[in-house]
Chain A
Amino acid sequence: MSDTLSIVLFSGTEDKLHAAATLAVGAVAMDRPVNILLMYWALDAFRADRITKDHGLAYDAARPRFNEPVERVGEIPWLETFRQAKEIGEVTVLACSGSLEVLGIDVSSLDPLVDSSGGIATFLVAAEGGQILFI
């Protein structure tokens, strides 16, 4: 079994991007290769002209709950965490070509963190034998 961690990153809100970045950096800290497939709202969040803007919180944050999220959630530097993960380990970021088409996004308009675009088979083959998460 491979120790590769593959993340299907579908969500584009600050909190979920932060969760994904934390998992990615935790894995590279243990010398585990990481693959990330960007779909839908994550893809939209990775657009070069949007990546540093506020992406809001998941719907869960609007529901009644016992604790208020700490104000600093918006300040959590998920982007910086992804950059660091890429710097210190093997992180491959693939933009899902299907999502690119559905959202009308050109791969060249995405942040340089994105390595390339590809189809589902490309991602699944890279993920084979390891663990896959959906965020």
Chain B
Amino acid sequence: MRRLLPLLAVICLSALPAAHGQGIELKETPAFEDDVKAGALSPVAARLPADPLLVRPAEPGTPGGSLHMLMSSAKDTRMMVVYGYTRLVVFTPDYRLEPDIAKSVDVESGRIFTFHLRPGHKWSDGHPFTAEDFRYWFEDVASNKKLYTAGLPEQMLVDGKPPAFEVIDPETVRYSWVKPNPLFLPALAGPDPLYIYAPTHYMRQFNAKYADEKTLDDLVKQYRVRNWSALHTKLFHPYHTDNPDLPVLDPWVLKTRPPADRFVFERNPYFHRVDPDGHQLPYIDKVDLVIADSKIIPAKTGAGESDLQARYLRFDNYTFLKDAEDHNDYTVRLWRTAPGAQLALYPNLNVEDPAWRQLNRDVRFRRALSLAVDRHEINQAIYYGLAIEGQNTVLPESPLYDPAYRSAWAAYDPKQASRLLDEIGLTKRDGSGIRLLPDGRPLEIVVENAGESTEQSDVLELIRDTWAEVGIHLFSKPSQLDIWRRRVYSGATMMSIDKGVEDGLVTADMPPDDFVPTTQAQVQWPKWGQYLETKGKSGEPVDMPDVQELQKLYKAWFNAADAVERAQLWRRILEINARNVFSIGLVASVPQPIVVSNKLHNVPEEGIFNWMPGAFFGYYHMDTFWLTPEGSNQAATALPKG
């Protein structure tokens, strides 16, 4: 879990008075007109909370239509929760937190959080959403040892202690810790959020505390699960949305029961946002997710089978997609991506083989490897020169950026690389010019990867040529995600190729998790990460001075007094990383193709397609995307950056 700390100083989060729904004349959604007339649904004014959230779309839209998208497995239905991005509080594209489901949140000295709900807010089945839903989750779900065997989620524990929970009135709840909890609100606003409420009226029938024993036993049998807690857990997946009966607060509600090859989401009649014209959001009535193999999705997209697609499209699909643009009525946009490097090589500092461990830990060796990579050639040959060349570090848009971090040991200089390798003592060569290790083995580096894209193999092919010039033989070994990870964790892998740091757009207020050992998933030092993750039970303690220094700085960052000090600590961490070349970054900012139907409006021309921060389309308010009504030939105009 990535964590953000932007709001220690924020006392009160509340929407501007102007953003409240007063004074807006609400209009009935066309899709619901018949139901409302027939009395099956209450009119729009009664469905919305008294205080709806006003969203100002770039271009006011017309409600209706259905949007088609492609996904590769039934589990991808969770993307609708990510794209819909409806949370108690949400991040804006400039990292501010704003209330969304909550009307406002009061924060007192970073440790007492009071949530004010919107009076009259309803679940997607029309049942009121109140403080009781928070109480139910906290007392009857999270604190129930049968349901949450491990206790409360870690973001809700400060020094291992849970908060005091109070229901102030039906629209107000409060969580108070003894010490500040900076992780709480960001966890609520994440793309995969922490849910601290549950639809009581639906879930209680599966909870032994409330349900009749006999009825519950029958249900357990009917669903073929082991006991009621398994049933409760199975049916309450607000993020991995797979239960069409579960009431939600998202803009679209799942209507298809898995297993299926097509999932339909329909608009939530009780969604709490409106536009300035008085239309209830979302604009789009229906979202159709068609499941197809991920490898066939670019081809299907190119055949015009998706109205909005980015997932499973890769940069190397760009020319193909662009070529089919004319006869399939869509436009390909290029959004930016935020990882610190599209791809980076990770020498495993914890590799089992002692000779290789010694080499990988020698900074001269890592620098030589980096200098022997021709990034310009990779950029030109594979990314049409659109990427940024350099190390795996923060991106130029980040306030912490320094060009020196990116260019450190990143120029193509085979002569200096050879000199460094000679200096280490790798001077002997075999008949074919490959250097020999001191024990006589040839200097053959096996670069392993998860085998998920041909892009990695293509890049390695180019690196192989330039490394051969300095006397290093590169072998590429595509594997499978699970197996590759196991090998890295156990120290069998000497080097890996993978994505760079996830978030290159960091600010000083975000913890520098990616640049110091924190988890075994960091493939340059898996065993150190494991040691910290398991609190010393397995793995190895850090025994490299520069990395120990990183750990110290990381601890200091959490105790830093202000943003200035945090920025200073960040810069030192980045500088140590740049100097040590712990990972060998190749290129960054590779554009992400976004295919947008010409009928679809309000999708920004430029944007950042990223998980966190970003929630993919979530930050760009997918509920304000709208489709040109059938029969109208008005084309969507591309908007300036939104």
| A, B: real partners | no
Contact surface of B with A, Cβ cutoff 8 Å? none
